Amino acid sequence: MSDTPAIPLEHQIGRHMMSLWVPQALHAAAELGVADALAEGPLAAAEVASRLGTHAGATARLLDALAVLGVLERGAGTFALSELGRYLRDDVEGSRRAWARLMGGEHVWRAWGRLTECVRTGEAAWTATGGDRTSETETFDALFADPEAAAVFHRAMADGTRGAAPAIVDAADLREARSVVDVGGGHGELLAAALTAHPQLRGQVFDLAHAEAGAKALFAARGVEARASFVAGDLFATDPPAADVLLLKSVIHDWDDARSVAILRRCAAAIGERGKLVVVEPTAPEPGGAVPASFAWIVAFSDLNMLVNTGGRERTAAEYTRLLEQAGLRVRAVREAGAFYSGFEATRA
């Protein structure tokens, strides 16, 4: 039996409330580059402040909080990166620095501040307070009006896709394909993984024009630029390029059912009679289904994030299947695509 006293329930609920401070501390660390400043070894708080050009006292207080979170480790008057804190560096495999900048940044933070109205109305933050929808992509229009915010968003999406990409590519079964389009693929991390795994493939990323420069840079960095290209377009106004296989990762959960079906119909037109569409999403558990607590947390809060930021939602496998059928597609297979994702392989019905 543990000798640690139980935390009173009123303190537990209070700690949940104060957890809003955590992403802001991580966001500040990521924005300022704390982890990169400590990459070469431990430093005193004043030395970190000197490198970052920040206020010495305030920097020390931030470092104290990061140490409590386990992001930093205290030494004899110094702070060092922990194994956890390494993932706030820019230059490590699996970096989540861009994700911390995105999640704690102004656009996401302001939207979450309107959660109450989103729940009252069922609308995303942009329209929950009575505003009119200005375009199908208004949430992203506002974010991408700021070039730096757009770059952070795409870097965060690429970083999040990189580790999952091999399993997704395997689940997509591209062995017989000769052409592939990564729809809404941003900087093309998934496409690059597909081209690397299958030398016979040529591919394109189809996304809004602001992602083009980042995609071309990534293609060059991955050594696939000779077989990869970028096509600019709005998925609500333009069909994606035709290909043997269309990949649609983490796109449908951004949108409500009507917009999701509209997207899927455009994809159905692009694959023709012989091609296939692979929709890749984390699937919510069926009601009453047993799932690990960590996965249940991710799905539940990601679902709220979709409500707040885009008006979308996380869905069960049955719900994704119904959306695909409404768009004139038939699900041929559902495959696991790593720890969190499922791949829904569909052809025209």
Count of residues in the chain: 349
Residue 178, pLDDT > 70, answer yes
Tell whether 113 is covered by a domain: no
**CATH number, residue 82:** 1.10.10.10
- Asked whether residue 78 falls in the same domain as residue 172, the answer is no
pLDDT of 239 strictly over 60: yes
Check pLDDT > 70 for residue 137.
Answer: no
Pick from 1-5, 72-76, 337-341 the range whose average pLDDT is largest.
72-76
Please state, rounded to an integer, the average pLDDT across all residues of the chain: 92
- pLDDT tens, residue by residue, 15-49: 888 999 999 999 999 999 999 999 999 999 999 99
Range of the domain at 67: 9-96
Q: Give residue 4's pLDDT band: very low, low, confident or very high (50, 70, 90).
A: low
> Quick one: average pLDDT of 242-263?
96
Label the pairing between strands 329-336 and 341-348.
Answer: antiparallel
Element (H, E) at 179: strand 179-183
Domain check: are 25 and 166 in the same one? no
- Residues 267 and 187 reside in one and the same domain: yes
**Which of 187, 182, 178 has its CA nearest to residue 98?**
187
Contact 172, 166 (CB under 8 A): no
Q: Mean of the pLDDT values across residues 238-253?
A: 96
pLDDT at 138 over 80: no
- Average of per-residue pLDDT across 266-271: 95
Residue 142 burial (C-beta neighbours within 10 Å; 0-12, 13-18, 19+): middle
For residue 136, what pLDDT is reported?
58
Q: Which residues are catalytic?
A: 253
In one-letter notation, the amino acid at residue 157 is M
- Tens digits of per-residue pLDDT, 281-331? 999 988 877 777 778 888 899 999 999 988 899 999 999 999 999 999 999
The CATH number of residue 198's host domain is: 3.40.50.150
Q: How high is the pLDDT of residue 295?
A: 83
Predicted confidence band at 230 (pLDDT cuts at 50, 70, 90)? Answer: very high
Same-domain status, 176 and 322:
yes
Whole-structure pTM value: 0.89
Position 99 scores a pLDDT of 95
Model confidence band, residue 134 (pLDDT cutoffs 50, 70, 90)? low
Helix axis angle, 165-172 to 147-162, nearest 10°:
70
